[in-house]
Chains A and B, each alone.
Chain A
Amino acid sequence: MIKKLAWIGILFLWFSSIEAQEKFRRLPPYPEPIKEWRLPRLETVTLTNGLKIAVISRRNSPFISLQLILMIGESFSPESLPGLATVTARLMSRGTTLLSASTIEEKIESIGGQLEILVSCDRTLFSFIFLKEYLNEALSLLSQIILQPAFASNELEAVRRTLFYDLAEKRGQSEVLAERQLLRWLLKGHPYEKSLFNEESIRLISRRDIQDFYNRHYRPENALLVVGGNITLSEASKLISHYFNIWKGEEPRRPAWPTLMPLSERILGFIDLPRSKEVTITMGNVVASRSFNDIFPLLVLNQVFGGSPHSRLFMNLRETRQLAYIAFSKIELLQLGWLFLIQIKSPPESLLAVLKEIDQELNRLIKEKLPAAEIEQAKSFLLESFPLGLEPIEVMTRRAAEILALKMEEEYWNSWPENILTLEAARITEVSQRLLMVPFSIVIVGDSRRLTNFFEEYEQLFNQIKIYDYKGQLLYTLSKGDEK
């Protein structure tokens, strides 16, 4: 009897231990306590020739990342030659007075390196990453590329061909077509408009135009070199000074360009992309602020609205209503204005419903008080996810370089957590009503044959649709009451 009781007891103990153990599986666990963490500090110094240097240290990185930013972008290209800034920058790595293009390629690969050149409205970036023991070789090569470009005619042809190929490839990408058309409206008449260059102006660019552009704008006072890796500011500045101190030039004259202004009317545009299975919608307008204090409330607003798969747009359009495949929003920070952009991909049959839902979500964001819980969730998402985007040294250095180029390192980089944490709901609401209460223009890219229903019904929301080709040429306007 006792033996039986003992066995029953043992079995009971065993089962109850399993049961108790498995209870924790029913609900998601609480997170561990958050560890105190700070972004590595950005330390800066300016050389006597005006070149600004910044260093961001990471002790265990096997690479060093050099991010050389020139504060000149496509907006500096002459009116008659949009694309000149891009061609100039690309041609610089295609040969110097001493090194041919293939020697440069060989030198880059021999130090385990990669060089990427990017040109935007405001800036030109030379992003160079290589094995850490080759800092001298890398600086020597970068200084030759920047200070002694050859601008050889045969290489100009090669750069042109690559650009034509890039432009042709983009033509088939619905999201690029949509964004470029929206930017044509938002940047119209502004020097930034030149960033939307096409093949025609590239054909007109001569070697002399490039040399003139280089002479006028490639100045140390116009440049910023950010170094990331296992290096200190004094080590970096000594070496950089050695390779770049001969870089001289007149003080660059920066033109006084106007800031971007929001479009006051809403435009609806359509570009036909035959055989496209889905519809791409890009919406947006200029945010009329240049106060850095507005950036943090805007980031929280963007997070609440469409910054992640957990934001309102994605949750409503994709998860709840299953109207869209993706639905996000983003903020683009340019020197002379910021853009608030929305990007959606949906099945053609959902197009009208998607547009109605976005309007409602925008109204909700601007007119309704944001719930405290949603604000706190957005703030903690921004704080927690920030370090995830800094893992490779190149990404971290590039991010720091962009912040420095916008002249907001103190506000943005060094005080990031405090600026997010201390934001109050009233301030966020004030910013949303001041900056986002603007009409959002819309570009739709899709296969017109799959959108016959939309063309029958668009009048429920809009008075007219402007039909464009992929080059931005207005083909015709479809107005309310027109024959479809």
Chain B
Amino acid sequence: MKERLILKKIILVFILTVILGDSFLIRAQTEEKLVTNPFPFVYYHLKNGLGVIMAEDDTLPVITIAVAYKVGSSQEKPGQTGLAFLLENLMFQGSMNVGPMQHFSYISRVGGRSEAKLSEDLTIFYQTVPSHQLPLVLWLESDRMLSLNISEEHIDRSKIAVLDELVQRRLREPFLDSFIIFDQLLYRNFSLSHPVLGTEEDVVSLTVDDVREFYKNYYVPNNAVLCLIGDFNRRRARELIEKYFESIPKGKTIPAQSEILENFDGPIFKIYVDPLVPAPAFHLAYRVAPMTSEDFPVFKIIEYLLIRGKTSWLQRRLLRREKLVVRIDGGLESKVNSAFLRLFAVANNEVMIERSLKAIEAEISRLKSTLVSAEELEIARNKYRADLNQSLETTAGRALFLAEMYFRYPSLEDIAKHLERPLKVAASEIVGLANRYFTNENLAILKIRIR
């Protein structure tokens, strides 16, 4: 009798756990939240912690699926640089049910595109395909999240591709070394100062264990978000996402990256001699407010006033009017919890470099002392709005945007506020922040000389 009671209890517990308990759990963790701005989307989590964001758009029978992992070069240790890049490449070398490079082949066979994007804090894999191919992409992405093939042979193949890319990049970008040196001046912490793609020496020495450890720690559902944008049925998509991803085991909890503290110590004025560059050049940067700060949107407008577009102050003065430089570009750079307004310019000779630096100083002084006119402010706002809309015009653009916001911004509900804030920036705010941030203490300059 007692045994029967125990049996009944066990069966009851089993049923409750498997059916009711599980569904309560799902409901508790996977309730959809709706956000309507800047475009409508819902987001929720699977039981294993995978974030899911879905935005429907039936303009064209096309979808983009992006799977982003919160891991990048900033998680690499000294001596292991290039590990994040190697793993990004390895994700195309096959998993339990998908052969080497078959991922590309499956996607291209249906007319789709498959790409990956690596930064210091994120690795994003994304594919745009005809909308009825949703199951195929979910199958491919889930297989490599669950069972990536990590063997000596696969790693060697990836190393060849990664080393080739590093060589090609060096050939393509004659000023590459100066960018790496300037990064080291701006970011004192190793996590942010080393090159995102790593160095040849480190890549060569990476071991199977290094790669396995990195994959096991970071390529887990609770460290990832899946974004699905385009023409799909939400209920069916949710069913398929659960089918392919929910049984993937959760990984261990990953400590937050708050230990990466910015410790910029300006002013910095350095000279770097590189006989291999084609012309003298310089890097210039001001430390500004980080991305999550209330002040950051003001710098977005300053960025457009100063350097973005043909009519920006510096492009117009240095490149067109006074012809001091042959090239000048730059913009805001935000890494984890630091941000800089960076400029890079190439000139024909060193006299022009000195005159360019003086001209920049004069334009910064103008920003500090004069209210920007309503017309100039309007142009900056519209340039910002056009760039933003352009980045959100395609399903791939929206998928990348949401994946980045999910990890980099505190709350998805507040994105619209964050995006609209630059449109409300007043001229007086610009003067105030320019005076507060564009100081000698926040300034770094690296001059590049040929000899």
Interface residues of A (CB under 8 A from B): 1-3, 6-7, 10, 13, 18, 21-22, 24-35, 37, 58, 60-63, 102, 105-106, 109-114, 130-131, 308-310, 377, 381-382, 384-388, 390-393
Contacts and interface: CB of A to CB of B under 8 A. Distances in A.
B16 to A, nearest CB: 13
B382 A109 contact: yes
B interface, over-half SS: helix
A111 B393 CA distance: 17
A105 B112 contact: no
B7 A37 contact: no
B104 to A, nearest CB: 7
B280 to A, nearest CB: 20
B130 A384 contact: yes
B337 interface: no
7 contacts: A2-B6, A21-B247, A31-B132, A61-B393, A102-B316, A112-B387, A387-B62
Given A110-B379, A113-B386, A385 B130 contact: yes
B110 interface: yes
B10 A6 contact: yes
Given A112-B383, A392-B394, A25 B130 contact: no
Nearest to B142: A25
A10 B14 contact: yes
A24 B139 CA distance: 9
A62 B398 CA distance: 14
A421 B364 CA distance: 62
A6 B378 contact: no
Interface in B377-435: 378-379, 382-383, 385-387, 389-390, 393-395
A37 B393 contact: no
The 8 nearest A-B residue pairs measured at CB: A385-B111, A112-B386, A29-B135, A384-B130, A62-B389, A112-B382, A32-B132, A387-B60
B133 A388 contact: no
A110 B376 CA distance: 8
B221 to A, nearest CB: 15
Contacts of B236: 32
Contacts of A31: 110, 132-136
B286 to A, nearest CB: 23
A110 B378 contact: yes
Contact of A28 (B59, B106, B108, B375): B106
A24 B246 CA distance: 13
B394 A109 contact: no
Contact of B382 (A27, A131, A385): A131
A130 B378 CA distance: 14
A384 B282 CA distance: 48
B243 interface: yes
Contacts of A58: 59
A384 B111 CA distance: 6
A409 B327 CA distance: 43
A2 B3 CA distance: 7
Given A109-B310, A131-B386, A388-B112, A3 B7 contact: yes
Contact of B3 (A3, A26, A384): A3
